[in-house]
Structure 1
Amino acid sequence: MTERSRSSAADDALGDAPPPPPRALLSGLMWREIAYLLANFPLGVAAFVVVLVWLTLGIGLSLTVVGLPLLATGLLVCRQYGRLERARAAALLGVRVAEPSRLRPRERGFFPWLWTCLKDPVAWRHALFAFVRLPWVLLTFTVVLVLLVVGWPVLPWVARWLSNVDRAMVRALLSPSDELERRIAELESDRVTVTDTAAADLRRIERDLHDGAQARLVALAMGLGLAKEKLLEDPEAAAAMVDEAHGEVKLALQELRDLARGIHPAILTDRGLGPALSSLAGRCTVPVTTSVDLDERPAPAIEGIAYFTVSELLQNVSKHSAARQASVEVWRVKGGGPAGPSDRGGAGDRLLILVSDDGRGGARLDGGSGMAGLAGRLGSVDGLFVLDSPVGGPTRVTAELPWRARTEPAAASRGR
C-alpha cells in the first residue's frame, strides 16, 4: 500500500498523468490549449532569437574576458525562461513539472560561480528547449489559426494532439534532470519544513519556561524574601511562607519534568519505543493497546519522531475522536535495500506505525488537528503519512519512517 502511495504521489508531483482525451468543442480546456498554442509563436520566436544571439556572442567571445561570463549569465536567463514555460504549461495545459534545485556553488567566489553555471545541465536543456521549438511553434500557430477559420469540426482533436506534443516536450526538457535532481529539490523543500518546525518547538519551549517554571521560580524567590524578613518578627508567618514556597518548588519541578518529557523523554532514551509508547498509552483518556515488534532500535532521531507522532495522534484520540478504544502497532519492514535484507545497518528498511481508533472519524489533513504538521514532519525525513478516516469511523493513521539503525552501541544497551 505504501509503495503504491509513494508512486502515486511522485507521479502527481511530476505531472506524469496521461494526457486527457478531447473534450467538447466549447470546453474551457480546449480554449486554454488553443491559447497556449497561439502564444507559442511570439514567445518561441523571441526565445529562439535571444538564445541564438546569446550563443553566437558567448561562444565567439569565449576566449576573451567577457565571453564565459556572458554564457553563464545567459544560462541563468534560460533557467528563468524555463520557469516561465513551466508556469504557462501548468496554467493552460495542466502539466505540473517539479522545479529543479537552485544552483549552489561549492565554494564562494566568482570562478566557482562561473563553473557551476557553465556546467548546469538544467539551464542547457532549457536553452535547447528554446532553440529546437522554432519550427514547431511556426507549425502549430499556422495550423491552429487556419482551423479557427475553416476547421471547427476537427479543431478540438487537432488542438489536443498538438498540445500533447507540447506536454511531452515540457516534461522531457523542463523537468529536473534526473532522480537525484528531483530529490535535491524535495530535500530543499523539506529543509524549510524542518527549520520551521524547529523554530516553532523552540518558541514553545521558551513560552512554557516563561509562563510556567520561570514564573513559579520568580514567585518562589519573592516568597522566600518575604519569609526572610518575617523570620525574626513573626516566625509562624515565616514558617507558613516557607511551606508555601516548598509547594511552589514541587510544582516548578513537575513542570520542568513535563517540559523535559516534551523535549525528549528519559524513558525513550533509556528503554526504547516499547516502554515509551506504553507510557504514552497509559496517559491517554481512551483505553489503548500497544504492540511493538522490533528486533533492535532504530536511530535516535527516528525513535524521537516516532514517539512524538504517536503522542500527538493519541492526543487527537483523547480530544476529538469520542472513541471507546484505540490501538498502536509498531513494526519493522525489511526493505532489502542496497546492503541486502540481512544487513543489520537496515539499508532500505522502514519503521511502520499504525494508530487506529473506533471513534466517529472525519479527521482531515486540513482539519486543524495537527495532521498536516505531522505529515510535513515525516516527509522531511523521507517518511510517509497516510490518513484514512471516513465519517463514522474508524480512523486509521499509517506512518512510515526510514529505519536508519542506531550507531551508538552504548545508547542501545543503556537500558539493559
Structure 2
Amino acid sequence: MTMSPSVPDNDRPPQARFALGPWAWREIAYLLANLPVAIAGFVYTVFMIGVGVGLSVTVIGLPLLVAGLQGARWIGRMERGRARVMLGVRIEEPSSFTRGHREKGFFTWLWAGLKDPVGWRCLLYAFIRLPWGVLTFAVALVSLFVLWPVLPFIARGLTNADRAMVRGLLSPSDELERRIAELESDRGVVVDTAAADLRRIERDLHDGAQARLVALAMGLGLAKEKLTDDPEAAARMVDEAHGEVKVALQELRDLARGIHPAVLTDRGLDAALSAIASRCTVPVTVGVELPGRPAEAIEGIAYFTVSELLQNVSKHAGARSAAVDVWRTGDRLMIQVRDDGAGGARMDGGTGMAGLAERLGAVDGMFLLDSPEGGPTTVTAELPWRDRVGVSAPKP
C-alpha cells in the first residue's frame, strides 16, 4: 500500500483559460466558501484551545482538550472531502486515533490524544485559515465583477495555494503514518491468530490427552480394587492402561510438535522441513540454503507456513510430487512451495491461504499465490530476516 498526497494525472484540473469552464466555477465556489468555513474553524480552534488549556488544572481540562483535537480531525476530514470534490486533490485518510487506545485505559488514551500529530495539524490548519479565507473571499468576489476576463487565472493561482495547504497539513504525515496504520491493522490479525491457536490447543488437550488420562486414572483405580480379589483381571487392566499411556504420550508429542517442534529448536529449518516432507503423502524435495539461522519467531513462522502448505498439497492438490526451497536474499527470507497438482487454488478457496497471507502480513511479510487451472501451483512467501539473538549471521 502506497500513499501519495499528489493529485493523479487524470484528476488534475485542466489548464486555466479565459472562458469559465466547470473547473473554474468549482474553484471560484471553493474560494467563496473559504470565508464561512474559515470563520467556523477559527472559532472552534480558539474556543477549544482556550477552554481546554484554561481548565487543564481541573479534572476535565485535558480530556476536553483531547476531545477538541478529535473534533479537529473531523474538520480535517471535511476539508479533505471539500478539496477532493472541488479542487481534485485526493488525500489519503490518516490512521484512526481511537483504534487500539481506548482498551488500554484512560491515561493511555489521554496521553496518546495529547500527542496526536494529526489532530494538532488539523487544528493548526483551522487556525491559520482565517486571514487566508478573508483574502480569497474578497479577491474572488471583487474579481467576479471587476476582473472577469482574468478571473480563471486568479482562481487557479489562489486555489493552488489552497491545494498546497491541504497537502501540507491534512495529508498523512509521511511513511511513518502509513506504517502506523498498517501495524494497527496487523496487530488485530496477530491477536486473533494467537487466540485461535490457544483455543485449538485447549480443545486438543480437552478432547485428546486430558480425556485419555482421565480414563487411564479410572482404569488404574479399578485395577487397584481388583488387585487382591482378581489378580488376572487387574493385570489385564494394567496392561490396557499401559497401552493408554503410550497413546496419550503420542498425542502429547503431536500437540507439542504443533506448538513448536523440538527438531526445529535443536537443528533448524533444514531438518525440520525435511521432517515435514517425510510425512507428506507425495514425494517432496527440500532445498534449504541459509547462511545461518533467523530469529526464532521468523523461523517458527517459516516452519508452520511450509507445514500448512504441504498439508494442502496432501489434501487438495492431487499432485504427484512437490518441492520446497528456502533461501535468503538481502534482508528477506524467501520460501517457495511448488506442486504439479491440478491447480485452481484461490485465496478464498477454504484451504487456509488467506489466513497464511494475513499471518505473514502481520510481520511485514508477503504471500503470493500462482495456481492456474490445470496446475502447477507455486506459492512464494517472504519474511523479514532477523538475526537470532546472540548470533550475527553473515550477509549473503
**TM-score computed with the length of structure 1 as normaliser:** 0.71
Deviation for aligned residue 1:42? 11
Q: Which runs of structure 2 are paired with 1:13-412 in the superposition (5 Å)? A: 18=8, 20=10, 47-57=37-47, 64-65=54-55, 69=62, 72-83=66-77, 97-100=92-95, 102=97, 117=113, 120-127=116-123, 132=129, 173-334=169-330, 349-408=331-390
Deviates more, 1:74-83 or 1:94-103: 94-103
- Out of 379-388 and 163-172, give the one that drifted further: 163-172
- The CA deviation string for residues 148-196 of structure 1, in whole angstroms up to 9 with x for no partner, is xxxxxxxxxxxxxxx9999987665433211122212221221111111
Shift of 1:356: 1.0
Greater Cα shift, 229-238 or 255-264: 229-238
Structure 1 position 10 matched with structure 2 position 5:
no
Counterpart position of 2:150? none
Q: Residue 199 of structure 1: CA displacement?
A: 0.8
Q: CA offsets per residue over residues 293-344 of structure 1, 9 Å max, x none?
A: 011100011100000000011111111111111111000112xxxxxxxxxx
The letter for the 2-side match of 1:99 is P
CA shift at 1:37, angstroms?
Answer: 9.5
Identity %, equivalent residues: 63
Rounded to whole Å, the distance in 1 between the matches of 2:53 and 2:249 is 72
Q: Which residue of 1 aligns with 2:146?
A: none
How far 1:46 sits from its partner (Å)? Answer: 6.5
Match of 2:16 in 1: none
Q: Deviations over 1:36-92 (max 9, x none)?
A: 999989997765333211333456678844698566543221123335666899999
Query: Normalising to structure 2: TM-score of the pair?
Result: 0.74
- Tell me which amino acid in the other structure corresponds to 1:400: E
CA distance in structure 2 between the partners assigned to 1:240 and 1:325 by the alignment: 46
Secondary structure of 1:10's counterpart equals coil
Larger-gyration structure (1/2): 2
Q: Relative to 1, partners in 2 of residues 1:60 and 1:129: Cα closer, same or farther, differing over 3 Å?
A: closer
Q: Give CA deviations for 1:348-405 in whole Å, capped at 9, x if unaligned.
A: x110001111111121222221111111111111111111112221111111111111
Deviation, structure 1 residue 115? 7.4
How far 1:209 sits from its partner (Å)?
A: 0.2
One-letter code aligned to 1:75? L
SS of aligned partner of 1:390: coil
Note closer, same or farther for the CA distance 1:377–1:96 as it changes in structure 2 (3 Å cut).
farther
250 and 79 in structure 1: CA distance in 2 versus 1, 3 angstrom threshold: same
Query: Contact 2:91 / 2:171 at 8 angstroms: preserved in 1?
Result: no
SS of residue paired to 2:201: helix
Q: In structure 1, what is the equivalent of residue 148 of structure 2?
A: none
SS at match of 1:399: strand
Give 1:277 shift. Answer: 0.3
2:2 is paired with a residue whose SS is helix
Q: Which runs of 5+ in 2 are unaligned?
A: 13-22, 142-158
